[in-house]
Chains A and B, each alone.
Chain A
């Protein structure tokens, strides 16, 4: 699983950070940081939920 962020869409709503805090972090300047680009198996469920609930659909997954 690989995470791709479309930074043109991202608005820093930080929903992903709530769903999967080990993987996503929105810093103080409103920039989304992906902490783990290829998250391990144990994080997949939370990452999928982050992708699904991203208000702006800025997150995509690649196999």
Chain B
């Protein structure tokens, strides 16, 4: 590998998986590598754990709001829209919104959802168990996040597919297979906003104990959320809640199939499940990168950074930093400690981390115990993206089993 080959803008590279050779080289030789761009000013790549923690914890110097959290350079009008998403806010504004929504996601609240999530997982595995084959992403991995996030938001069962399709269109923009044009994307945003509006109006009139009711009736600084704020919340939660957990569920099954020794350990000893989930999160975090923008001239890991420059954290690299993880390229479900940053750290730490952990434990526990011999029945096809480490198709076969419900 020649360092001159490194181009993290090249999405075709990501079709074959995360370019770990590149990241390994960067961590060792150029931990704050400058990545030039043809359609942008270029950006600094954070590849080491400690630098990622430093950037994530300093929201004043490394802003989420100044230029958003995606690499592309948004225009002023677009930035206004982006900044309505909590993801692209800084404190103190961010902290206020966060306080409003986090009530729905605390460990105690999520613990109340656990039995429902376990029940849904059972039904999902039932839906494929007798067939002996499935397309894992659509039939299994996408189901639980969609059901549980919709459940949480209060989206009725008959509308779930609609919300799910919109969320797919919104996230799949880089992949030509989804043929998503800018118009489609705009249409999907509007569709999501319209749907949120409708549901929000309903819950304003008839509040329930779902998150939408909390959002439309709750207050930030004594004021209710306006339509743009509420709709943006809804969009972000629907999107983040669907794509990420689906991705990690698919990656988990791929990793277990590719590492039969590790799967055998798990089948023999289900108490290893929680650790296995953490190792999957470390090994293939769903989100590949997030960006910050330097708000002043500064220095990071010995590298001078100028005000206004983009700083991009690459989580797959952070999670394999040799200084934090022994033998980082080994997939080891018994790894301990395992302080991966798949959920980030600092102000923007994943709101849904608790929920994701419960979901992943439930669905993988069900799969590993009931269908322990899943095998590939076709190529694993990855999302054409350097943002989400997604799998778009994964055909699997297994020994058919009976239903349990």
Contacts and interface: CB of A to CB of B under 8 A. Distances in A.
Contact of A29 (B108, B343, B344, B354): B108
B237 interface: no
Main SS of the interface on chain B?
helix
Interface residues of A, number: 17
A38 to B, nearest CB: 25
B306 interface: no
Nearest to B339: A53
B95 A9 contact: yes
A9 B349 CA distance: 12
Interface string B361-386: 00000000000000000000000000
A14 B107 contact: yes
A37 interface: no
- Find the residue from A26, A29, A55 having the highest chain B CB count within 10 A: A55
Contacts of B395: none
Interface size of B as a range: 10 to 19
Contact of A57 (B99, B343, B347, B354): B347
A12 B99 CA distance: 12
A56 B347 CA distance: 5
A42 interface: no
A12 B105 CA distance: 10
A57 B108 contact: no
Interface of B: 53, 57, 95, 98-99, 102, 106-109, 339, 343-347, 349, 353-354
Given A11-B106, A13-B353, A26-B107, 17 more contacts: A8-B99, A12-B107, A12-B108, A14-B107, A19-B339, A30-B106, A30-B108, A30-B109, A53-B339, A53-B345, A55-B343, A55-B344, A55-B346, A56-B346, A56-B347, A56-B349, A57-B346
